[in-house]
Structure 1
């Protein structure tokens, strides 16, 4: 349930325009040409769909069903669910609002743990995890299992990207997500159906579910329950709607991967618009590097001139900078040469 104070509904109301459907590339990870296809997709939109991923669909369905069951609980029970990092409405502490409630979990070698002060985090990168000595929770158990599978897939995608770029060693990118101190997170978002139409109107308003932004990490692995709402920004800035798919996963290039590839890969701007009478549940695994990892374009991708578009920085520095921004701000511009 999302409870908005007077005036807040107007802040997230959107025009009723329906953008055209995006032409989203589909990449079969088991195909011989997967590495080249991934590179082409990252250079085009920085967003694509993957099949042949090897993640058991029964696990995906179980995680989605368990999440939907949780979000259907009475509001008081959800707000008391500290082991799950529950929050609603506020997306960060800088004024961004959305028609959304969510779970925010850090990923550690011991499993998923709730994120401290989730309601004040700007993006999934912007909060620290609390101790993993939290009580056992059936939903968290299935999310733990799902997270293991999503991280495995993210690493497989990153290894194929490195192959397609001609970057060595094979784990040049994936190692940043597999280390025990890697800053990975799982976010489970629930977008309730849009409000009922006002008297005298035929349909309810379109609302901002999650405002436009780029993901700050290296890679994002997204699943949704087949309800529309996700939109991506094309090269010309126009928005396009992503057709839902019940069996595929979607991959976002993050800001950090744009830096590592010296701008060759594009960090895609995206948002979620609530315009449906159906609930949308999405699960996003964010693969981030260790906090102290120094990040800069890979030497093999600097080109003949050897010019780096970005100055070196740590993931911790980038996170700290992002905490002070609104969702739609360009965080990378502060780190350009």
Structure 2
């Protein structure tokens, strides 16, 4: 039985797919091996396998029948020609040494087609695209994106200024681990100016952006494509920035432009206040006597805060691959902190994984709303509530036409903060589902994982 059912929590009803799904549910890597429906004469263009990706046009050809997805053969990418660039795995905010240059989003060599090595008896067909002389670090999965009827139109909306905010936040966290915040009080100008400055930064020449990359002794700054040090890739470029108190860290030299830095500082201060108000309302809704029990973890001295500015450029390689073909911008993962607060421009791309009544995972697209904030439950909050709230698995996909720019504030506690279920939330006789750890210990463990890994598994005492 699912944990939600055991605790009397609602389980999601089936998502209205609008049509039958052909092919498997996405696996933990976020990719789906391409298949043909047995009765179709043309490939299902919405299903693709991981392929070498670049901004030039990529053509997909039909190959001979191949083995099922687990046996799909992919050419090795080899070893990177330079050390991996710094990027916190799943936005954990890890610090590590990295190269000062990033792989630019530049055109790859012309594509060639690879014929897999085995045949499937039922005549299924796979499509695999590789590149002649491929860049050795540019393996980015193509995904089947949810269709128009798979939009998550019932995203919980919390009016942060309304009297029912506390109850609405708890209900959304119990059901989805995710919600949208409106009437948050952040001026539109604060968001718009920060976005405009970010667009200007990413519009610079690649050499200028590379100069904003991390130093050997300080890993924050500009990077692209590489996500962590364990092989995850995405079609994005980004700024990863450290936050001290309510502004960017003085030790972080990026961004160096006064206007951009000022705009981000104003935005960070505002969104940090939103995060604190959300956590205070959450404590009220949970019946915790100390209203600051959660918010103080992320506003107190030494709190581990990280801020990301992500840019997902259009991906011309997707042209001609079908309307549901997308490239991985940021692979599926959960956020390890307490909560994360996201805001993006008007371009969609965020997707969350829901489960229907049969516990089948279904990816749904989240409609974009540039005037609102989206809040994710993080792994740490899942532990603090003993699994009452569950961290939401999410990802970002790109398209061939529009850029997506997003800001994410990650609210984490101090490294020495003890992470364990809050005593006020444990019923009489209820045992903790997790062994106690500190935030620093969890960061260290998470740093060694891939994006899609279940990081909490090694800290579980019981099956959830």
SS of the equivalent of 2:343 reads strand
2:165 aligned residue (30, 34, 37): 34
Question: Following the alignment from structure 1 to structure 2, what is the Cα–Cα distance between the partners of residues 188 and 14?
Answer: 23
Residue aligning to 1:214: 334
Q: Which runs of 5+ in 1 are unaligned?
A: 114-129
Q: Matched residues in 2 for 1:31 and 1:135: separation?
A: 36
Q: Is 1:197–1:204's contact at 8 Å kept on the other side of the alignment?
A: no
Change in Cα spacing, 1:178 to 1:10, as seen in structure 2 (3 Å) is closer
Question: 2:283: which partner in 1?
Answer: 162
The structure richer in helix per residue is 1
Cα distance in 1 for partners of 2:246, 2:183 equals 28
1:106 maps to 2:242: yes
- Structure 1 pair 110/132, CA: closer, same or farther in 2 (3 Å)? farther
Higher relative contact order (CA 8 A, sep 6+): 1
Q: C-alpha distance in 2, partners of 1:173/1:16?
A: 35
Partner of 1:258: 382
Give the secondary-structure state (helix, strand or coil) at the position aligned to 1:48.
strand
Whether 1:231 and 2:351 are equivalent positions in the alignment is yes
How far is 1:180 from its partner? 2.4
Larger radius of gyration: 2
Partner of residue 175, structure 2: 44
* Aligned-pair CA distance for 1:6: 3.4
Cα deviation, 1:297-326, whole Å, max 9, x if unaligned, reads 000111122311111100000000000000
TM-score scaled by length of structure 1: 0.89
Aligned to 1:21: 151
DSSP-derived class of the 1:250 partner? strand
Using a 3 Å threshold, how does the CA distance of structure 1 residues 284 and 110 change in structure 2: closer, same or farther? Answer: closer
Query: 1:15 deviation in Å?
Result: 2.9
Change (3 A) 1:207 1:201: closer
State the alpha-carbon separation in 2 of the partners of residues 71 and 204 from structure 1. Answer: 27
Q: Once the two structures are superposed, what CA deviation does each residue of 1:19-76 show, in whole Å capped at 9, x if it has no partner?
A: 7011201110111111000000000111110111011110000001100110011000
Residues in 2 aligned to 1:77 and 1:12: alpha-carbon distance in whole angstroms: 28
SS in structure 2 at match of 1:234: strand
Taking only aligned residues, the RMSD between alpha carbons, in angstroms, comes to 2.1
Going from structure 1 to structure 2, the CA distance change for 1:132 and 1:190 (only over 3 Å counts) comes to closer
The within-5 A match list for 1:123-272 is 131-132=251-252, 136-138=256-258, 139-196=260-317, 205-235=325-355, 236=359, 237-272=361-396
**Using the alignment, how far apart are the partners of 1:317 and 1:146 within structure 2?**
30
Partner of 2:200: 69
Q: Does the 8 A contact of 1:255 with 1:332 survive in 2?
A: yes
> How many residues matched?
320
TM-superposed deviation, 1:96: 0.1
**Runs of 5+ consecutive residues of structure 2 not aligned to the other structure:** 1-103, 109-133, 215-219
TM-score of the superposed pair, with normalisation by structure 2: 0.66
Distance of 1:176 and 1:336 partners within structure 2:
22
Hey, which bits of structure 1, 4+ residues long, moved more than 3 A?
3-11, 132-136, 200-205
